[in-house]
Structure 1
Amino acid sequence: MAQYGGLLTTTSGEVWVTANSSPIALQARKTAALQGTSGFNTRVTHTFPSGQPVVAFVHCTVEVEITQTVSGNTITIDFLRPNATGTAYVYFFTIFPQTKPDYGMAVWDASGTLILTHETRTLVDVVTIGTAGVDASSGYNINTTS
């Protein structure tokens, strides 16, 4: 039996092909208030579909130590010892069934799962910043916007 599907490209030229792949997409955005108080730690948790990958991206408005753990299908981001009061924004990307929109583009996989719509925010154009192995421009020393 012949394979069929769609071939989509991003504005920067990356190719995404159905029917044998599902995009990793933004499932949730959560925020946390960070307190610059000694011993005050903040935790953000998110449950994702079992058996799927999960990637968390974090942006903080103040310096803070960040750790991540995954247990089963729950990911936990801990914010430890912030140096001032601020906000943490956490973006969780994973593979999950999409919600059918009232109108627009929709793509289903061979099993009938809706995997992509015009409203899906897929993870594309990830760019490496900093220099691995150079303390001054990697890890918690990175302070870059683009």
Structure 2
Amino acid sequence: MANSLHGEIIMTWGALITDIYGNPWTTPDATPMSLVQKIVLNPASSGSYVLPVNSSAPFLVACQATANNVIFWINKSGANYTLSYCVAASAASPGTVTIYIFGYVIPQPLPKWGIAIWNAVGQCIITNETKVMTPPVGFGTVGSPTDIGYLIDKTVAGKFAVIPRVMGIAAGVIHDGGATRPWTSPIDTLCYYNGATSRISAGQRLAADGSIQNLSYSNSRDLIYAIDVSRY
């Protein structure tokens, strides 16, 4: 149990642990998300991957690619979640795609030696070998007209993976052979890691076929969230 008084956390029992950002969490009543699986793909072109996750339990997915402008999005069909990826509005190679899946691993496997912490019902929730998820970092500036939503474009030092989400919509009208039809494309998040820095931005999922007119964009005006994955 923990109580806060004048900015301090007072423990009556359990353990108090803070992350590298100073964010505290307490045990045994709080269980951190940790790395469940790291998946490395080397596709020749755009594609998809059925995520090995339990849809009845909370999870978080973060992605990166070694080619620029690779966007990621997730679809759900029944109990299955599928991660799709492509170089924005093209069929180019995405290079190496790395997927990080975080979730609650209860009970945690016990190490041969070290530290283990159990919750109040006797489940091991963290050990010295647990790869606790680094807190997501938000990129962009709330209230900015140029640094928010699909307009965000940041290059930062280190190894990051982006959390897939839709940052906006592109829409227009296609004129093809005298016929007109509406056209839309989501704008999704991307993360390009070149071995030293990570580019975190957004890109248009689909290319418009035919002659498109009245092209407009709708901005989600959200931050893009990414995770420092250098320790995984």
TM interval, shorter chain, is 0.7 to 0.9
Q: Give RMSD over aligned pairs.
A: 2.9
Aligned partner of 2:126 in structure 1 is: 116
1:78 aligns with 2:84: yes
User: Is the aligned partner of 1:103 residue 2:113?
Assistant: yes
Q: Residue type matched to 1:45 in 2? A: V
> Which runs of 5 or more structure 2 residues have no equivalent in the other structure?
1-11, 141-146, 154-166, 168-187, 199-227
The corresponding residue for 2:40 is 31
Distance 1:140 1:126, change over 3 A: closer
What residue is the counterpart of 2:151 in the other structure?
135
Aligned residues: 142
Give the percent of matched residue pairs that are identical in Structure 1 and Structure 2: 24
> Residues of 1 paired with 2:96 and 2:117: CA distance?
36
Greater relative CO (CA pairs within 8 A, separation 6+): 1
Name the amino acid aligned to 2:117. V
Q: Which residue of 2 is the match for residue 65 of structure 1?
A: 71
- Shift of the 104–56 alpha-carbon distance from structure 1 to 2, 3 Å rule, reads same
Q: Which residue of structure 2 lines up, in the alignment, with residue 56 of structure 1?
A: 61
Looking at structure 2, the residues matched to 121 and 75 of structure 1 have their Cα atoms a distance apart, in angstroms, of 23
Distance 1:72 1:17 in 2: 35
Partner Cα distance (2:79, 2:63) in 1: 19
Whether the 8 Å CA contact 1:135–1:141 is kept in 2: the answer is no
Does structure 2 retain, via aligned residues, the 8 Å contact 1:32–1:44? Answer: no
Normalised TM-score (structure 2): 0.52
- 1:101 is displaced (CA, Å) by 0.6
